[in-house]
Amino acid sequence: MSRVLIRGGRVIDPAAGLDAVESDVLAVDGRIDAVGTGLDVGDADVVDAQGLVVAPGFVDPHAHLCEPGWEHRETIRTGALAAAAGGYTTVCAMPDTDPVVDDPASVGFIVAEGRRARGARVYPVAALSAGCEGERLTEFGEIVDAGAIAVCDAGKAVGSSSLMRLALEYARSFDVPVLSQGEDRDLARRGVMHEGVMSTRLGLRGKPAVAEEIGVARDLALARATGGRLHLQRVSTSGAAELIRAARAAGVQVTAEATPHHLLLSHDLLEGYGTEYKVDPPLRTARDVELLGAALADGVIDCIATDHAPRHYDEKEQAFDDAPHGVVGLETAFAVLHTRLVRKNLLPLHDLLHRMSTGPARALGLPGGSLEPGQPADIVLIDAEMDWTIVAEDFVSKGRNTPFEGAGVTGRVVRTLVGGRTVWSLGRATRAPGPDAPAAT
């Protein structure tokens, strides 16, 4: 029997509404056994958490781990270790690999490699349509049996309303959510940044906010008609957030995520054509950032997702039009959000932890996100007062494409436990090879 006692920390469990100082968490055989004071130590391994926050490990509902096919960007192993370094104990891997994860064998590969990685837990999200091409549904029953926890087309909006309707109906039969990037593809076509005065001045093709809002409205209408579980990915506009608010009030089964970069950064940063700010959906206006933050605070946006998307350094060293979109976020998400939201009294720490753990676990129907007895002992320890500087070269991930390079932040993950086992701790991290190095084996 393995026993781990995390002693003397400030224990915050958003699932139970708990915030207790100088409290203990006891894990037995990989599961939470008890939370409280004066717990029986017995022969437990003791972790001193005095001065630290102890919380459920973070759950990322949206990350690109790139394997198979793009191992020069990231592997499942390096991604799982980078996740652990950022406090994540669960990562949901998107299916846009090469080949696409759209059959039981490819789902099984993600499951097996995730287990071998011995970092964060890795759950595969399988393709909604064959090849993510939006023409024919995958075999939902087979891919769910193989271990897929949801379906989506990995950032591609499903153009066909009839196919999206069918997906929501089929997914309901297998009790899995449909993950969707709400977007009208005709309106969004070829846009590389938010459409507005800034895009006109910079001479770049714009992607209008209304493209997202039309796509979100359609998906919400289909979810209401079918009763299917809809999870909206990478919400970036205030208009989309208001549509979600109204749909939820009307009883639609919908959850929604936003990324740290959409919650903190605006399109004004593109003034210098920096490709580190090129993301999809694009960075929006300062007003969108403000109102999206308000939607996060009041629970309309109930999940934070990193949309971790590593790119090889030379892919981003191109003209803005030609460079791929995407940033890495697993190792910086908590720190930047804690610094710019919690420290500025825009969001309580309890709520940030909820949006990073309990919220996404519930949205996707995953274990974790709680310190209640019987739950997996997936735990993060945080020094909420530690000041540090984000330096991409120090990342565990192979990816170095961050918009937060050089930022001074406060709050750092110092230990991550998965199933009661420490998989990462500050000072003895496992660092991934750089972007020029061979893929890890």
Which among 234, 359, 358 has a CA at the least distance from the CA of 307?
234
Which among 435, 397, 406, 342 has a CA at the least distance from the CA of 88?
397
Contact status, residue 435 vs residue 75, Cβ threshold 8 Å: no
Helices (H), ranges, 10-151: 76-85, 104-117, 140-146
Residue 248 in tokens: 């939820």
Residue 87 in tokens: 């406090």
Question: Can you give the C-alpha Rg of the chain in angstroms?
Answer: 21
With 0-12 / 13-18 / 19 or more C-beta atoms within 10 angstroms meaning exposed / middle / buried, residue 271 is exposed
Within 10 Å of residue 385's Cβ, how many Cβ atoms? 11
352: helix, strand or coil: helix
Residue 356 in tokens: 């990073």
Residue 2 in tokens: 């393995």
Alpha carbons 327 and 113: distance in angstroms, whole number: 23
Buried b (16+ CB within 10 A) or exposed e, 187-201: bbeebbbbbeebbee
Alpha carbons 277 and 192: distance in angstroms, whole number: 11
223: helix, strand or coil: helix
Give the CA angle between residues 371, 431, 57 to the nearest 5°.
10
Contact status, residue 181 vs residue 233, Cβ threshold 8 Å: yes
Bridge partners of residue 46, in order along the sequence: 5
Alpha carbons 85 and 150: distance in angstroms, whole number: 25
Residues annotated as catalytic are 307
Contact status, residue 318 vs residue 300, Cβ threshold 8 Å: no
Compute CA distances 398 → 279, 357, 431, whole Å.
18, 24, 9
Give the CA angle between residues 116, 121, 122 to the nearest 5°.
80
